[in-house]
Amino acid sequence: MIAIYPGSFDPITLGHLDIIQRGSRLFDRVVVVVSSNPHKVPLFSTEQRLQQIRQSVSPLPNVEVDQYEGLTVTYAKARQAQVLLRGLRVLSDFEKELQMAHTNKTLADDLETVFLATSTEYGFLSSSLVKEIARFGGPVDHLVPQHVALDIYQCYAKTPLLSVPNATASQKPPPSPLPPPKGAD
């Protein structure tokens, strides 16, 4: 059984990877499909996102990565997929995703939507949140794969923080813009 996991993945997060890994255990093949959202300006080009995702899922032999412009159901039909895979974090996700699932059912009644609840540790995580943290100089290496964190730091021209596992001892975190708290030595 083939499952399609569509999204913008700008950037791919550990929450996305959690859904992909779990989906890969449930389905014969999972196709991660990068699509563009006309209402968003992406941080990374489609090709960059495809490369980031391919590197992230390389240990999963039954996962492939592709891109598509247009209706997801059209792509799913062309790939002879039976399932659309979606992750749910919070109640507001459910409302939006349920509406989309019902809409997709009117377009392709032989295509099922399967929802996976995110693992607890990723319930708060979104690509938008990652970008906001990075934009203000915060660390994101605990939210995205290591190679993606490095791409994000480079994009925002930030020096990777010491929490990045591959950082060398000679790298220092950027100076704090805030004075130390009173009474701190």
Q: Which residue has the tokens 């925002």?
A: 156
- Rounded-to-integer distance, Cα 40 and Cα 184, Å: 43
Residue 58, annotated as binding a ligand: no
Residue 8 annotated as binding? yes
Q: Any known ligand binding at 86?
A: yes
Q: Long-range pairs for 147-155 at CB < 8 Å and ≥24 separation?
A: 147/52, 147/55, 147/56, 148/11, 148/12, 148/52, 148/56, 151/11, 151/44, 151/48, 151/52, 152/11, 152/43, 155/43, 155/44
Q: Is 142 annotated as a binding residue?
A: no
- Given 29, 77, 89, 105, which residue is catalytic? 89
Check if 40 is active-site: yes
Catalytic residue from among 24, 49, 56, 127: 127
Q: Which of 16, 49, 131, 158 is catalytic?
A: 16
Active-site annotation holds for 89: yes
In the annotation, is 163 catalytic?
no
- 3-state SS, one letter per residue, for 69-92: CCCHHHHHHHCCCCEEEEEECCHH
Q: Is residue 45 annotated as involved in ligand binding?
A: no
Residue 176 annotated to the active site: no
Residue 116 annotated as lining a ligand binding site? no
Tell me whether residue 125 is annotated as binding.
Answer: yes
Does 123 carry a binding-site annotation? yes
Structure tokens that stand for 165 in this block: 């596992």
Active site residues: 16, 40, 89, 127
Provide the annotated binding site for ATP: 8-9, 16, 87-89, 97, 122-128
Provide the annotated binding site: 8-9, 16, 40, 72, 86-89, 97, 122-128
Provide the annotated binding site for substrate: 8, 40, 72, 86
